Structure 1
Amino acid sequence: MRAVVFAVIVALVTFGQPTFARDIISSDIYPSSYPTVRATAYMGDLIRERSGGRLILSNLGAGDRESENYTLGQLRNGTLDMARLNINTLNSAVPATIVPTLPYIFRSVAHEREVLDGPVGEEILASLEATGVVGLCFYDGGAKSIYGNRPIRSPADLRGLRYRVQPSAHWAPMLRALGAQPVPMPQARVEAAMRAGVIDLADGSWSSFVALQHHSVAKNFSLTEHSRPPSVLLFSKRIWDTLSPEDRAILKTAARDSVALYRQLSDEHEAAARREAEAAGVMTVSDIDYDGFAAALVPYYATAVSDPRLKAMIERIKGEAGR
């Protein structure tokens, strides 16, 4: 009888669950309610289901807010499996990632999504492997606008103001040309720096503005919508190379399948964040001199991008049909 019971237990262990489960650790700077984190959690549900429980995704929660460059280093050396990063973090290492961050490169949300889902998006993702990461998919991040304690309506309004830029950003020369003073700074330090008067301005989407509590100190949100830099879901190439072709396919397909949910959540989150900010006393500045900003910023493409292949990519993006 004891032998029969033992045999049943062995059968349950062997056939009732996978003999080995691979725990995939993911990171994001945002809290669990943020669309990017919810989308990767959904991806986790997909990979668990499609792998029969062999692949399990665990989120670290809010990652290193001080430096996404540090998180990128963790991916490269294989101490972290997966992370969602702002694409600006990769600008220095992968020049192709500069292209989707250029001012007014995308005409609308629809245009951006069409480009990211198409051949240009695939080309940019493929270029990431040379720097030690595998690009799984893009999460388009909403239009970035300028915020601070004074309204910004035209390029002239930037003169003399201290403007926070991401440490790896290529925007600093452009801002200097407009008369602003770029201040490289991790995103997590913006609120304290603005309170202390170290910086006058920063930029971001409605969602990041509220999620990072910047609306508690910046009371003017100027709808310049000057850039639509996507974020990108990355996997460590060191870890990727140890996975079977089947598991790689599961991960890549699940990531792509999470994009539709992300976009739905992101659109809802942007609208809700705007309502929350305005209810907290933030003034939305909508009378923007868009032609003036475009005239000042678009010529910057020639300075930011010198590679003929990337210049051709810009022209391909301009030719996409989205409006």
Structure 2
Amino acid sequence: MPALAAGRNGLLTATDVHVSDYPTVEAMRWIGQTLERETRGRLRIRLYHSGQLGREAEAIDMARFGAIDFARVYSGALNNAFPLTRALCLPYAFDSVAHMRRSMDGEVGRAVLDGFSGRGLVGLAIYDSGARCFYNARRPIRTPADLHGMKIRVPVSDIFIRLLRQFGANATPLSLGEVYSGMETRMIDGAENNIRSFHSSRHFEAARYWSQSEHSYAPDVLLLSRRTWDALDAGDRELLRDAARRSVAVMREAWDASEAAAREEVLAAGIEANEVDIDAFRAAAAPLLAGYRRDPRIEALYAQIRATA
């Protein structure tokens, strides 16, 4: 029996800021069920969803130092500590969900996951996070000029902070859990995220305008504490890595169904949705994109991403 299983009675801990039925939570729950079945109960996962263990930045540190085992986090939250993840967050790097999935299933995904080694983490899987778009309480966004003067929540990521400034908005870094109250109190005017999170977080109750900018398809990442990995024997490591790999299909199936349902429900609730001038947004984002591409590591990954378009 591996040292970890002996020390914790085989119970592993996992965290996700999203709600219980969110696709990434369902994927991690599936991993736990698979481990429990394949080891006849010797390995199990206790899953803390809905941000019960705090914000994503805290989850990353807890996993790095072994306080928890698994952390599902948004790639934007990893940009500063793990530079290769910046390639996944660049504006208009991906053309669609299908394009993003092809890239993550190939060399780009493998390179990013390998990039966590040596920093206290093991990269296990890359999950969808949909098309990130703008929503707000003031007006439709059709061009970057419509964002001028607006306070828009962004993840705590330099790329997104700089991107919103390129668009003319006042970028306001906040954790996901602070967005609803921020809009209610008018500390912020809106945010940017995928429509599944827009629905599950109930942000559509405070922000009545949805603008289909699709400025990023930055995915989520499933991470494991390196300390946990080192405590497992070879057989359990292989079982865990295989379960994580297979969980991607589980997550994608749940994502596709729930994203469509979320869109129907927010539109039925009276949300005003509009298309945007994509060319105008691409042009506004171009200087930021060019700046990040000066890094040879990012440029190499970006070139591979575009090659799979």
Same fold (TM over 0.5): yes
Does residue 62 of structure 2 align to residue 91 of structure 1?
no
Contact 1:65 1:187 in 2 (8 A): no
What secondary structure does 2:159 align onto? coil
> What is the CA–CA distance in structure 2 between the aligned matches of 1:202 and 1:104, rounded to whole Å?
18
Q: What whole-Å deviation, never above 9, does each CA across 1:202-231 have from its counterpart, x for those lacking one? A: 011111001111011000010111100100
Residue matched to 1:241: 230
What secondary structure does 1:83 align onto? strand
> What is the CA–CA distance in structure 2 between the aligned matches of 1:177 and 1:104, rounded to whole Å?
14
Does residue 166 of structure 2 align to residue 172 of structure 1?
no
Residue matched to 1:292: 280
Contact 1:21 1:53 in 2 (8 A): no
> What is the CA–CA distance in structure 1 between the aligned matches of 2:52 and 2:11, rounded to whole Å?
20
Pair 304,199 (structure 1): closer, same or farther in 2 beyond 3 Å? farther
Residue matched to 2:205: 216
Residue matched to 1:310: 298
- Within 5 Å, which residues of 2 pair with 1:60-75? 60-64=48-52, 67-75=55-63
> What is the CA–CA distance in structure 2 between the aligned matches of 1:98 and 1:212, rounded to whole Å?
25
Residue matched to 1:112: 100
- Within 5 Å, which residues of 2 pair with 1:35-50? 35-50=23-38
Report the alpha carbon displacement of residue 309 of structure 1 after superposing the two structures with TM: 2.1
Residue matched to 1:283: 272
Q: What whole-Å deviation, never above 9, does each CA across 1:168-227 have from its counterpart, x for those lacking one? A: 342222322332111111111111111111111201111100111101100001011110
Report the alpha carbon displacement of residue 66 of structure 1 after superposing the two structures with TM: 5.3
- Within 5 Å, which residues of 2 pair with 1:46-195? 46-64=34-52, 67-149=55-137, 150-195=139-184
Contact 2:74 2:221 in 1 (8 A): yes
> What is the CA–CA distance in structure 1 between the aligned matches of 2:17 and 2:229, rounded to whole Å?
22
The code of the aligned residue for 1:177 comes to Q
Residue matched to 1:274: 263
> What is the CA–CA distance in structure 2 between the aligned matches of 1:174 and 1:29, rounded to whole Å?
24
> What is the CA–CA distance in structure 2 between the aligned matches of 1:39 and 1:178, rounded to whole Å?
35
Report the alpha carbon displacement of residue 65 of structure 1 after superposing the two structures with TM: 7.5
> What is the CA–CA distance in structure 1 between the aligned matches of 2:54 and 2:93, rounded to whole Å?
28
Q: Which is higher, the Rg of structure 1 or of structure 2?
A: 1
Report the alpha carbon displacement of residue 157 of structure 1 after superposing the two structures with TM: 0.8
The code of the aligned residue for 1:308 comes to P
Does residue 252 of structure 2 align to residue 259 of structure 1?
no
Structure 2 portions without partners, runs of 5+ = none
> What is the CA–CA distance in structure 1 between the aligned matches of 2:184 and 2:93, rounded to whole Å?
32
Report the alpha carbon displacement of residue 40 of structure 1 after superposing the two structures with TM: 1.0
Moved beyond 3 Å, runs of 4+: 18-21
Of 292-301 and 303-312, more deviation after overlay is shown by 303-312
Contact 2:142 2:277 in 1 (8 A): yes
TM-score normalised by L of structure 2: 0.94
Does residue 10 of structure 2 align to residue 22 of structure 1?
yes
Does residue 217 of structure 2 align to residue 228 of structure 1?
yes
Structure 1 portions without partners, runs of 5+ = 1-17
What secondary structure does 2:116 align onto? helix
Residue matched to 1:319: 307
> What is the CA–CA distance in structure 2 between the aligned matches of 1:141 and 1:177, rounded to whole Å?
23
> What is the CA–CA distance in structure 2 between the aligned matches of 1:66 and 1:202, rounded to whole Å?
20
> What is the CA–CA distance in structure 1 between the aligned matches of 2:133 and 2:120, rounded to whole Å?
31
Of 165-174 and 112-121, more deviation after overlay is shown by 165-174
> What is the CA–CA distance in structure 2 between the aligned matches of 1:48 and 1:306, rounded to whole Å?
46
Of 65-74 and 109-118, more deviation after overlay is shown by 65-74
> What is the CA–CA distance in structure 1 between the aligned matches of 2:267 and 2:297, rounded to whole Å?
43
Contact 2:12 2:46 in 1 (8 A): yes
What secondary structure does 2:214 align onto? strand
What secondary structure does 2:118 align onto? helix
Report the alpha carbon displacement of residue 21 of structure 1 after superposing the two structures with TM: 4.7
What secondary structure does 2:262 align onto? helix
TM-score normalised by L of structure 1: 0.90
Contact 2:166 2:285 in 1 (8 A): no
Contact 2:153 2:174 in 1 (8 A): yes
The code of the aligned residue for 1:187 comes to L
What secondary structure does 1:241 align onto? helix
